Amino acid sequence: MTERATFFDTPLLYLKGLGPQRTELLNKELNLFTYGDLIQYYPFRYDDRSRYYTISELMDSMPSAQVRGRLRDWYLEGEGPKKRLVANFTDGTGSMTLVWFQGITYIEKTLRRNGEYIAYGKPQSFSGQFSIVHPELDNLATGGEHEAGFFPVYNLTDKLRKRHIDSKLIGKMMRILLEQAWPHIHETLPEELIQKYRLIGKREALWNIHLPQNQGWLKQAQRRLKFEELFYNQLRLIKNKLIQKEEFPGQIFRDTTLMKHFYNELLPFELTGAQQRVIREIYADFLTGKQMNRLLQGDVGSGKTIVAFIACLMAIGNGAQACLMAPTEILADQHYNGLKPFADAMGLNIGILTGSTNKKRRAVLHQELQSGQMHILVGTHALLEDVVQYKNLGLCIIDEQHRFGVAQRAKLWRKNETVPPHILVMTATPIPRTLAMTLYGNLDVSVIDELPKGRKPIKTVHKFDKHRAEVFGFMRQQLELGRQVYVVYPLIEESEKLDYKDLMDGFESMQRAFPRPTYEIGILHGKMLPYEKDDEMKRFLNRETQIMVATTVIEVGVNVPNASVMVIESAERFGLSQLHQLRGRVGRGADQSYCIMMTGYKLSTDTRTRLETMVRTNNGFEIADVDLQLRGPGDLTGTQQSGVMDLMIADLAKDGAILAVARESAQAILQDDPELVLPQHAPIRNHIESLRKTESNWGRIS
C-alpha cells in the first residue's frame, strides 16, 4: 500500500533522461509533478501512421493520412497574410498540393525537386484537388522514414514545443516510466467487474493508452480506463448521497391543511399529472426526517413556480419559513408579483429582497424574518448575505440553478443552525440524463415532462436577413391581432460595445418600420439600472409597448403571456440552449406563438445543426442532447460545477452507455457492501485510499 503510494509520488526529476530543466517545464506548463501525474497524462489523439494511402484513396473525412510521393515543383502564391508556398506532390495515382503559410523561406530551402517524401496531415479537398496544409514532411533519401504504428499526440503548449518537448519525446519518457512502473501498477477494479465486462487489466490499459500496439488494443485500453473513471465517479456520488441522507436531518412537514386550502380554494387551474407527481415526491421527502436535496427539471413554461409555491405552503403550514432565490431582479420581481396575490389571499406575508431594496426596508425585513412574521422571502443573491437571518428557515428554493455556484448553495444551508433547510433546485435547462447522473448524482431528480393543457407548440422558422421585409410584415400582422413581439439581439461580453451598437441600430430600424403613434417600442439591456429595466418590463406587461427590443437579459423566466412572437437577430451567435430559453419567452398564453431566427447566409455546420434542431423540436430534453453532442459537457455546465471537469478520459457526450453500466455496478456493489469491507472489494478500498491522498472530494468517504 505505502510502497505503491511512494512510487507514483516520485517527483518527475527522478525519471531517467528528463533532467531538471524539462522537469521544471512540465511542472509549470502542464502541472505534472510526479510519476503518477505523468502516467495519467493521456494522449488526446493518435496519429495513425500504421499504413500509407495513395492520393486516389484520400477522403475529406480522414482525420489524417500519410502519403508517399514525389515533389514536382513549388511556387509562391498570394499577398500579405495570405502569402503561401504551394508544392505539387504526386504518386502513381494522382497529384495533390502541400501548402505552407508560415516559415516559408526556411521550408523552401529544405525542399528537393523530385525528392521522394512522406507527407502526413489532414487531407482537404477543394474542387476535386486534395491538399494538406502544413504537412509533416519526411525526406526518404535522408532516412526520414517513419516507424509504422500508432503514435500518441499529447496536449502541449507552445513554450514546450519551442524547447523541443514534443509528443515524440513524451512518448519516449512514457515508455521509460511504464517499464519502471509495471510492477507497481495494481489492479484497481474487482475481478468480478473485469470478468463481467471483459475489461483488460490496468497495466495493459495504461501501456496501450500511451503506446498502443494497434487500433484494437487502443480501443480496449480506452474502454477500460473510461469504465474505471466513471465507476469511481459514480461510486463517490452515490456514497456521498447515502452519507448525506444519513448525516443531515431535515424538518418534518406532515400537516397539509394549509396546502390543501390553497389547492382546493385558490389554485386557478388544474395541475398537470407531472406537477402532481413532483409535489408527491417532495412531500415524501418532507416526511423522512432527512434533508431534501432535490433537483426539479422542467422545460420552460412547464409550471415549476406553482410547484415551488405549494412546497413553500407545506413548510409554512408546519411552522417554518421558506425562501425563493432567483438569478436576476426581473425574475425575482416576477416571482414576487406572481405569488403575492396568492399569499395575500391566504393571509401569509411575502417579502422581496434584492440589490435595490433600500436600507430602511431591509431593516424591517430582517426584523420580520427573525421574528417569524415573514413567511416567504423572494429575492436575488442578496438573500445570501450574512445579515439575512430567519427564525426557522425550513425550505430554500433556487430557481435557474445554473447561475449559482456550489459555494453559494452551501451558504443557504447555514441559514438554519439547528436543522439545515430542505433544498429544491429548479432548472429550465434540461440536463441530459448522462450529465445529470454525474453532475447531480448526489441530488434526487424530479422531472416535469408535461406542459399545461391547451398550450400550442411554438412554430419555429429560420429566415435569412434578406427576408427581413417579410418578417416585418408578419410582425405587423401579429401586432394587429393585439399580440406583442420580442426582438432579441446577442450580447456577448468580449464585444460588448459592438453588441450595444447592434442593439441600438436595431432599435432605430424597428422605430422606422414600426413608427409612433401606432406602435410603441421598449428597450431592455444589461446596462440599464434595475428600476429602469423594471419600468420597461412593466410597460410591456401592461401592453403600453408592443415591441420589446432586448438583449438576453430577458432570457430567463420572464413571463408575458400576450407576447406571441420571438424574433432572434443574429441567431448564429446563440448557443442551442440559449435559443431554446429565448423561445420559451413566448407560447405562454393560449395564442399560437412563433419564433423566428434571423441569420446571414454564411453558416457553419454546427450552426446549421442548431437551427435545424430548433425548427424540428420544442422538446427541451431533445435539444439538450443535441447541445451536449455539439458542445461537450464542460460548456454546458460551467466549470465552477465540479464533477464533470475532473474527468480525464471519459466524455459524457459520447460515453453515456459506459456511464450507465458503471453506475449500475457502483450501485450494486454499494448495496451489497456499503462499507466496502468484503475481501473481493479490496482493490476498490485500496484505490480510494490512494485517490483520497490527491483529491479532497474523497475525504468524506470513510
271 binds, among Mg ion, ligand ADP, none (CB under 5 to 8 A by kind): ligand ADP
Binding of ligand ADP at residue 271 (CB under 6 A)? Answer: yes
Look at residue 233 and give the partner it binds from Mg ion, ligand ADP, none, a contact being a CB closer than 5 to 8 Å depending on partner kind.
none
Which residue, 557 or 643, is less far from Mg ion as judged by CB?
Answer: 557
DSSP 123-189: EEEETTEEEEES-EEEEGGGT-PPPPEEEEE----HHHHHTT--HHHHHHHHHHHHHHHGGG----S
Cβ-in-10-Å burial (0-12, 13-18, 19+) of 29 comes to middle
The listed partner (Mg ion, ligand ADP, none) that binds 298, CB under 5 to 8 Å by sort, is ligand ADP
Distance of closest approach, residue 428 Cβ to Mg ion, in angstroms:
6
Minimum distance of ligand ADP from residue 268's CB (angstroms): 8
Nearest-approach distance from CB 454 to ligand ADP, in angstroms: 7
329, 530 Cβ separation under 8 angstroms: yes
If one asks whether residue 620 binds Mg ion (CB under 5 A), the answer comes out as no
In the complex, minimum distance from the CB of residue 459 to ligand ADP, in angstroms, rounded to a whole number: 19
**Residues 301-320 within binding reach of ligand ADP (CB under 6 A):** 301-306
The least distance separating ligand ADP from the CB of residue 327, rounded to whole angstroms, comes to 12
64, 233, 251, 272: residue in contact with ligand ADP (rule CB under 6 A): 272
The region of 57-65, 174-182, 294-302, 458-466 touching ligand ADP under the rule CB under 6 A is: 294-302
* Identity of the residue, 420 or 557, whose beta carbon is nearer to Mg ion in the bound complex: 557
Question: Hey, is 27 helix, strand or coil?
Answer: helix
Nearer Cβ to ligand ADP, position 298 or 643? 298
Q: How far apart are CA 513 and CA 528, in angstroms?
A: 24
Strands (E) in 453-539, as ranges, are 459-464, 484-488, 521-524
The HSE-up count of residue 418 (CA atoms within 13 Å, CB side) is: 8
CA dihedral for 640, 641, 642, 646, sign (positive or negative): negative
* Residue 588 touches ligand ADP, criterion: CB under 6 A: yes
Cite the beta strand spans of 326-404 per DSSP E. 350-353, 376-379, 393-399
DSSP summary character for residue 320: -
Binding mask 502-541 for Mg ion (x = CB under 5 A): ----------------------------------------
Sequential DSSP letters for 569-617: TTGGGS-HHHHHHHHTTS--SSS--EEEEEE-S---HHHHHHHHHHHH-
559 belongs to the binding site for ligand ADP (CB under 6 A): yes
b/e code 35-64 from CB counts within 10 Å (16+ = b): bbbbbbbbbeebbbbeebbebeebeeeeeb
Q: How far is the CB of 428 from ligand ADP (least distance, A)?
A: 5
For residues 303 and 394, which CB has a smaller minimum distance to ligand ADP in the complex?
Answer: 303
300 binds ligand ADP (CB under 6 A): yes
Q: Among 148-156, 299-307, 504-512, 518-526, which window interacts with ligand ADP (CB under 6 A)? A: 299-307
Per CB under 6 A, 577 contacts ligand ADP: no
Tell me the C-alpha distance between 206 and 222, whole Å.
9
Distance of closest approach, residue 302 Cβ to Mg ion, in angstroms: 9
The stretch near Mg ion (CB under 5 A) out of 57-65, 461-469, 486-494, 557-565 is: 557-565
Nearest to 206 by CA among 184, 190, 191, 235: 184
Can you tell me the distance from the alpha carbon of 17 to that of 410, in angstroms, rounded to the nearest whole number? 47
CB of 491 to Mg ion, least distance (A): 21
**C-alpha dist (Å) from residue 597 to 334, 471, 567, 570, 610:** 26, 10, 6, 8, 11
Query: Residue 545 touches which of ligand ADP, Mg ion, none (CB < 5 to 8 A by kind)?
Result: none
Which residue of the chain is nearest ligand ADP when measured via CB? 303
Residue 557 binds Mg ion, judged by CB under 5 A? yes
Pairing between β-strand 123-126 and β-strand 129-133 as defined by DSSP bridges? antiparallel
Number of residues binding to Mg ion, judged by CB under 5 A: 1
Cα–Cα distance between 189 and 340 in angstroms, integer? 55
- 586 is a site residue for ligand ADP (CB under 6 A): no
Distance in Å, CB of 269 to ligand ADP, minimum? 4
Tell me the C-alpha to C-alpha distance, in Å, between residue 531 and each of 76, 122, 339, 538.
61, 55, 20, 10
In this chain, which stretch among 5-13, 271-279, 506-514, 602-610 interacts with ligand ADP, using CB under 6 A? 271-279
CA angle 290–641–606, rounded 5-degree value: 130
**Does 531 participate in binding ligand ADP (rule CB under 6 A)?**
no
Binding segment (CB under 6 A) for ligand ADP, from list 20-28, 298-306, 516-524, 677-685? 298-306
Q: Which residues bind Mg ion (CB under 5 A)?
A: 557
Q: Which residues bind ligand ADP (CB under 6 A)?
A: 269-272, 275, 298, 300-306, 428, 452, 557, 559, 588
